[in-house]
Chains A and B, each alone.
Chain A
């Protein structure tokens, strides 16, 4: 069974007198354990696709099955519950709460989990998730005390903490330098390889999309290509980047 199954998805916005056809009929199946990169220029409709995949928005037409459940026309409240249980978000700007420790940031999705989780259980899960991201010694650091890469790893720990069916990463490397970007991509690859987590990555950078196992190109609200890909090896890229970083004093 597919994790994601889109059938004829259309999304139409009404902005004043203008009607914007953001998606014009998208059909797509994503299997468990895939690392799908969705790529396209701005205005291509990839952001709208991400919103619908992330249950942040409902399609105007078509059906969306997430883990076999039709979520295309659910009320706000049920969409919120599905986001909480099934989807882990990683954002471009990290979206960590300032003046809040790493553990508290990672606990955030657990605060809205029903039935209510005990303080101890929340803390235990958050610490586990951060430890898995190699941040065991940064538990009580605030975002401002962490590097960009560390912040994004906190964000990934937060996305993983509720054991979702799907990780949705929206331009996760947009605010990072190339070395850190490669490290984050290596991390996502490891999650897929070692834990079999399904990942959907939205990016406009072809070289970032190249780390996925499948690349989908979107343009003007339709899929123009959907191909299997041999993922780039981040270790090679790191080796290439390291001398530059060393020369520039990193």
Chain B
């Protein structure tokens, strides 16, 4: 048995002789450490909550839309003639009818029309309406993005986490079992990575599309919570049911819902009043190769601006867009929309309070302002915990001074039995450490309980980390040492004769 363990045994014996006193002094440390652990849990919880809400709202998300409704490319310095001009993609299909006056027929004007709309045209493939028997199967307008664009973004830009291609349509769906049950909703043709990008998603039933289902263009479908509630009813598991879309049978494999407490999905919601099917299935059924969107997440929220710029460069090069021409796509980060939706009013206020101009909001500014808000909050909580620890430390010192006086006879006895001054001093220091650490452990446990109850009762976000627990215990031990130095010194300097005769 080592000497340290031997001394701890001494301290433990002494503490156990005065259980009530020990308990009272422990209480001070317990309260201090409890406050420390609780405030650290609250601080980290708030940090996590803000981060979660930002991510759920897509702070690290970039969405590339096909088409461009801006009149001018920002910073491109295009000529006045370019204004209002939306360039068409590289001509893949020859316009069948031309717009404008026809030579020789000055009074006849023809509308701009897609060649599929010409009833006289001969097609090398069946029209979507013929094939699917559904005239609701509208095609996207300026569909300038392709799966190859998505692949290029995925492969060429560092710092990108996930890329998901998307085709978006409006769709009417009905139950196979009960064709009268219909719902008009958003259809998203997508890839298996989408749930990782939309980090605020959970799946109460089933799962999302798998990579192999996307690769094989299976007719499987994940439905939003709103759709599930409308077609099947709230709280009913629709996995395995069949839904009819474009006269085709789709098997339901999952339901998607929101984790965000800030934004509860309702009818018309783009994410949860929606259905998700493999993008490849959309392409093969509608005979398309275009995408409406490419959704990208970056590894770090601070990099969205740089990566947006690189995406623009790659797409302009791939689409052969010259310097003077505006983009035929739109790259948007989600940061602009953060304040409007997805954030709770509290969080939004913190963010807005630290911003100079919401208009000029960039993701970097947003991150910086959140960090400032976090630092302020953590400093406040650390201050509260420091004061409680200080009070706890004074309590321990008080108890020890009292204890030295009360136990003067005991000190004298121990000295008569051969205890050195250093033995007596280390006994008191160790008693303080044992007391503080035990009090600290209880305090840490109480802190966790308090944090959990706050989360349960008030729905506050808390996050208890192992590091914060270890830190709290170390703080308690240091507190014990510091507050015992003076009492221990006093005890060690007692004269054995005087101490023995002390009444």
Contacts and interface: CB of A to CB of B under 8 A. Distances in A.
Interface of A: 51, 54, 56-57, 76-77, 80-81, 83-85, 89, 91, 95, 97-100, 104, 108-109, 111-113, 116, 118-119, 158, 162
Contacts of B419: 80, 84, 111-112
B421 to A, nearest CB: 6
B489 interface: no
A89 B417 CA distance: 8
Contacts of B314: none
B458 interface: no
A51 B412 CA distance: 13
The 3 closest A-B pairs by CB, nearest first: A84-B418, A109-B417, A112-B418
A93 to B, nearest CB: 9
B421 A116 contact: no
Given A91-B500, A98-B17, A119-B9, A113 B418 contact: yes
Given A118-B1, A119-B9, A56 B417 contact: no
Contacts of B420: 76-77, 80-81, 112
Interface residues of B, number: 26
20 contacts: A56-B416, A76-B421, A77-B422, A80-B421, A80-B423, A81-B418, A83-B416, A84-B417, A95-B500, A97-B410, A98-B17, A99-B16, A99-B17, A100-B13, A100-B17, A109-B417, A111-B10, A116-B1, A116-B2, A116-B3
With a 10 A CB-CB cut-off, give which of B6, B16, B423, B496 has the most chain A CB atoms. Answer: B496
Contacts of B3: 116
Nearest to A48: B497
Contacts of A57: 497
Contacts of A100: 13, 17
B413 interface: yes
A111 B497 contact: no
A186 to B, nearest CB: 25
Contacts of A84: 417-419
Given A56-B416, A80-B419, A118-B1, 20 more contacts: A51-B497, A54-B416, A56-B496, A56-B500, A57-B497, A80-B418, A83-B415, A84-B417, A84-B418, A84-B419, A95-B409, A98-B17, A104-B13, A111-B6, A112-B420, A113-B418, A116-B1, A116-B2, A116-B6, A162-B418
Contacts of B414: 108, 112
A116 B419 CA distance: 13
Contacts of B410: 97
A188 B2 CA distance: 36
Contacts of B409: 95
A112 B417 contact: yes
Interface in B1-51: 1-3, 6, 9-10, 13, 16-18
Nearest to B407: A97
Contacts, number: 68
A158 B416 CA distance: 12
A113 B419 CA distance: 9
Contacts of A108: 413-414, 417
Interface in B404-443: 409-410, 413-423
A84 B418 CA distance: 4
A24 B6 CA distance: 43
Nearest to A107: B13
Nearest to B409: A95
Contacts of A98: 17
Given A100-B17, A112-B419, A95 B9 contact: no
A111 B413 CA distance: 13
A101 to B, nearest CB: 10
B418 A56 contact: no
A95 B496 CA distance: 13
B497 A97 contact: no
B423 A112 contact: yes
B10 to A, nearest CB: 6
Nearest to A85: B418
B15 to A, nearest CB: 11
B490 to A, nearest CB: 15
Nearest to B415: A80
Contacts of A119: 1, 9
B1 A56 contact: no
Contacts of A95: 409, 413, 500
Contacts of B496: 56
B432 to A, nearest CB: 19
Nearest to A81: B418
Contacts of A113: 418
Contacts of A97: 17, 410, 413
A30 to B, nearest CB: 20
A76 B10 CA distance: 21
A207 B497 CA distance: 27
B170 to A, nearest CB: 81
Nearest to B18: A99
Nearest to A168: B416
A56 B10 CA distance: 23
B501 to A, nearest CB: 9
A169 B17 CA distance: 27
Nearest to A119: B1
Contacts of A89: 416-417
